[in-house]
Amino acid sequence: MKKGMKLITSAVAAVTAAVIAGTVCASAASLGDVNGDGKINVTDIILVAAHIKGKRVLSKTATAAADVNGDGKIDVSDITKIAAHIKGKRNISDPDPEPDPEPTGSVIEVKNGVTYVNGILVVNKSYSLPENYGNGLTAETQQAFYNMQAAAWNDGISLWICSGFRSYWTQYNLYWNYVNRDGQWAADTYSARPGHSEHQTGLAIDINNASTSFNGTREAKWIAAHCADYGFILRYPYGKEDKTGFMYESWHVRYVGKDLAKKITKSGLCLEEYLGIDSYYH
Ligand SMILES: [Zn+2]
């Protein structure tokens, strides 16, 4: 009796295992469907990210599904492909698109995964940073802000840093929380995908209040009028949303140095126009 029960139990276990294996196998054909639930969505990205961060070990099947670009490793490029698929921009098995030809007049160099256009470090929707890049505001950026803060104070304006440096993974959490709240289309208009945030450069600062309620305030007007004197540009100007890829942000400044800041501001162009580059997720 006992032996019989044991046999039945192990038979059931074997069938169950086979069914599970079958299910998992069937879903293994589906690249990007890491958890094998028949869908490719944010949950799969979270699993891949947890794996990259070393917080979770994926099964063999999940690993195969997660290696979307089939290069034998699981890294951020796989997440990028899954995200592109979710957004409906391309199928999971499509090859990576060829990079756009360089715009004429712009010299684009990539050093250690960091893009410089005419010698200026650029991060936007087209150009990203490596995961491990950055460790705080650069000394020049910090000092330039202090100088600007002191000048503003003399004019009766109080400025402070509301968000300075943000690491890849800080941005990762921020971005995906927004995606979960508002959907990816909306999130992409106001929050950069991880690796695509200018805050990871250590050259960008949100001042006082990173929200549309800051627009039109005395502080916002002061920043627009004076930030170039301290080496900053308004990075996402009003009316340039289709060029920068982001909505107008009266609170977000980018350090480029005094000479360049004055030139760009005087030109009335946003950084993308000034450098002859685009900003969209490829
Ligand atoms: Zn910002």
- From the list 98, 249, 272, 273, the catalytic residue is 249
Report angle CA 133, 80, 74 to the nearest 5 degrees.
80
38 lies in the same domain as 153: no
DSSP lists the bridge partners of residue 275 as none
What's the number of domains the chain is made of? Answer: 2
Which comes out higher in pLDDT, residue 251 or 101?
251
Q: Final residue of a domain: which of 86, 120, 137?
A: 86
Question: What pLDDT shows up at residue 54?
Answer: 87
Question: What pLDDT shows up at residue 81?
Answer: 87
Write out the residue range of the structural domain in which residue 63 sits.
2-86
| 209 Cα to the center of ligand 1, angstroms | 10
pLDDT at 91 > cutoff 50:
yes
Residue 281 within any structural domain of the chain? no
Q: What's the pLDDT band for 16 if we cut at 50, 70, 90?
A: very low
| 222 Cα to the center of ligand 1, angstroms | 17
Question: What per-residue string of b and e applies to 48-87 under the rule 16 or more CB within 10 Å gives b?
Answer: bbebbeeeeebeebbbbbbbbbeeeebebebbbbbbbbbe
| 82 Cα to the center of ligand 1, angstroms | 25
- CA-CA distance, 218 to 206, in Å (whole number)? 16
| 31 Cα to the center of ligand 1, angstroms | 34
pLDDT at 208 > cutoff 80:
yes
Query: Is 249 annotated in the active site?
Result: yes
144 lies in the same domain as 235: yes
| 274 Cα to the center of ligand 1, angstroms | 20
108-117 contact pairs (CB < 8 A, 24+)? 108/277, 117/275, 117/276, 117/277
- CA-CA distance, 219 to 87, in Å (whole number)? 37
Question: What pLDDT shows up at residue 211?
Answer: 96
